[in-house]
């Protein structure tokens, strides 16, 4: 059983995006797990104290507003996991006060994350504001039944919001036209090979399929990993641009789409290290087929295994993937 490919069914696509995110978080939600493979930053946890050290704005000074805000945050209590779950349950029931409390008690997490992006061309106050938007989104989407900590889930959304702000304020990186031509061919080839192979192609397979040398494949992939303007030309007459590489059925924000693709890439790598039974169990348990997550009993009945056996296999798979993730045993560069 293979995870389904996203299609024009917006509801199915949204469910699959959420399920992929939940699976990703289930794998990384462990003490000291390194997230470098995902967003190239260290794991960020809530800090017990709020020091003003290192919280300068982009001009090297702290505004009175920021100092006042940080002083106010020192009053924020740290929630226990039980308190988070109770608040999340009440939020699901429409309790506005519970939502406000969850947001307020996690504002320090936003500052902790935002200061890691200091001196990136965006004032710290703006980064905190953008991060707060990500926090609100996390509070709205958090599913306490999945078992992972809210800080792990919220960190992903906060960093996404902050990085979007930085990217939006970053100068356009111009890429040579011939490299953009490579990118166009590679993306087209990747889509075609995914259909025929049922998985993401390797660099070697892309090279063979397109006739582009491995060296130029690497150059093109490296360019794609940097901030390339969506309006960057891909033809000599500059009449075509990167918009032409995005399918018409993609209506999401391009930055959101990039983060979704990052998760899909990681999950694809992880699934390649599982046997068929493990793949089926993970696909059903986490809804990687675009459907709802199945219970242990439901998966057990489908595979003719006991509920306990399914639980054991799932636990073993998550531990194995955490080991790959933490020790970087998943070879980089095998897939785009």
pLDDT surpassing 80 at residue 288? yes
CA 152 to chain centre: 11
User: Which position has the higher pLDDT, 264 or 155?
Assistant: 155
CA distance to 130, 262, 265, per residue, from 157 (Å): 10, 14, 18
Would you place residue 215 in the very low, low, confident or very high pLDDT band (cuts 50, 70, 90)? confident
Would you place residue 325 in the very low, low, confident or very high pLDDT band (cuts 50, 70, 90)? low
Residue among 24, 74, 72 at smallest CA distance from 47: 74
pLDDT tens per residue, range 140-179: 988 888 777 888 889 888 988 887 777 666 544 556 767 7
Give percent helix, percent strand, percent coil of the chain, each to the nearest 5: 60, 0, 40
pLDDT of residue 168: 66
pLDDT tens per residue, range 200-212: 888 888 889 999 9
Sorted by where each starts, the structural domains of the chain and their CATH numbers stand as 1-30+227-336 (1.10.10.10), 36-168 (1.20.120.1810)
């Amino acid at each position: 059983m293979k995870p389904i490919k996203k299609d024009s069914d917006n509801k199915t696509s949204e469910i699959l995006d959420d399920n992929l995110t939940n699976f990703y978080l289930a794998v990384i939600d462990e003490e000291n797990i390194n997230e470098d493979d995902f967003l190239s930053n260290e794991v960020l946890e809530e800090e017990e104290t709020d020091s003003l050290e290192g919280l300068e704005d982009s001009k090297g000074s702290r505004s009175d507003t920021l100092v006042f805000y940080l002083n106010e945050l020192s009053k924020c209590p740290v929630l226990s996991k039980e308190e988070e779950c109770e608040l999340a349950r009440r939020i699901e029931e429409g309790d506005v006060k519970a939502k406000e409390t969850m947001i307020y008690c996690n504002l320090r997490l936003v500052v902790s994350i935002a200061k890691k992006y200091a001196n990136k061309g965006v004032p710290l106050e703006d980064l905190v504001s953008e991060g707060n938007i990500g926090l609100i989104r996390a509070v709205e989407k958090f599913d306490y039944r999945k078992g992972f900590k809210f800080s792990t889930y919220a960190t992903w959304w906060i960093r996404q919001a902050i990085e979007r702000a930085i990217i939006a304020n970053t100068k356009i990186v111009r890429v040579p036209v011939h490299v953009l031509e490579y990118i166009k061919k590679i993306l087209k080839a990747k889509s075609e090979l995914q259909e025929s192979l049922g998985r993401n192609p390797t660099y070697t397979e892309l090279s063979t399929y397109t006739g582009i040398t491995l060296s130029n494949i690497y150059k093109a992939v490296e360019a794609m990993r940097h901030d390339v303007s969506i309006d960057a030309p891909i033809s000599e007459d500059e009449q075509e641009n990167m918009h032409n590489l995005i399918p018409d059925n993609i209506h999401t924000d391009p930055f959101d789409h990039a983060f979704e693709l990052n998760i899909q890439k990681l999950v694809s790598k992880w699934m390649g290290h599982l046997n068929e039974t493990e793949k089926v169990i993970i696909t059903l348990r986490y809804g990687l087929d675009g459907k709802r997550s199945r219970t242990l009993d439901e998966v057990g009945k489908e595979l003719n295994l006991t509920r306990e056996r399914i639980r054991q296999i799932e636990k073993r798979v998550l531990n194995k993937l955490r080991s790959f993730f933490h020790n970087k045993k998943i070879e980089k560069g095998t897939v785009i």
